Structure 1
């Protein structure tokens, strides 16, 4: 019976297992049976909990952005030390995910709680929209984002349902009303306009979609004297 079959291993034991795999591979000895017996068992420590190798990720710069919005189960390199980074091929043979490689589902499945997704960077928001694009806008992502003040607008961070995406129709409103929450497309870049479908699904107000104007704007239009008549402004 292998030690890893029924227990969580210590740091030194984990490194010994990986070095054992390296030794056998370098000496062209078969390891299929050994690897198949341990890759599904929970014996490696991650930043979240103890998991099996196939359930977690080795952190590298490709994951830095995803880690802003998602609780990815990274190997606990603080616990294992730098040595584990030199055993990348051995970890990969056990099923550990190395490199981002379009892992949009993993990001979406481990999305952080709404309270931790406020005031996101432009890159983080665009990654979420890209995840939606690849995953077909899964319910969890859509429902999580709808109530989060994650979009930067001209009047601060707002939730998707409070935002408008700029088009020429909104330009005239900006001339008379400074509380019109337009998504800051200079902040996100022109690429934000390529996610029209995803923005619509999370509630952003777009040209041609039914919407309600902000209460302050409705109050202004009803109560302020802005319409000129023959008798003057009323």
Structure 2
């Protein structure tokens, strides 16, 4: 009888431990199903008009909703946008990459003109990484200036990593100095094959009821 009691107690303890481990990793990410095509000289208003003389004229804007329903604080890092075929990076707008906006981080994004209803005032993230506190819901604005030297025929992929605990040594990185060297990738891919057509349509439209957005193919969720 005592043996059966011990087995039941151990099983209950194991079940509780598994539930706890699942809870501390309970992070969900939802990328916007659409991204907006932008002309940086027409659709983005920033302090001192820093985009006015940009050698790269085109951009996309989207958001990611990150919910941390776990009991542990976490973070995201290595946020990037790139060509999925060549792995070349596009320009991610943050306060680290645009230091002139440090004191005035807010941008006005108007994909369909200032008279349309769908305008966005965003504060650029500080860098390519940031905290995700326990119980929080983070709306992460992602503004990507497209590198004119990189093809967009294959679309643009956006991704970042979230660290996870690796309890077993062989799950960790060989250069790890902690037990949080197991990463989960969150990724979305946007099809930009009709980018210029949609951009021309947006810029020719100045009413809130006539608009198009870039359709997307979701990956890595």
Common fold: TM-score over 0.5: no
Q: Which has the higher contact order (CA 8 A, sep 6+)?
A: 2
Which structure carries more strand by proportion? 2
Q: TM-score range by the shorter chain?
A: under 0.3
Indicate the structure (1 or 2) with the bigger Cα radius of gyration. 1
Give the TM-score, by structure 2 length.
0.17
Which structure carries more helix by proportion? 1
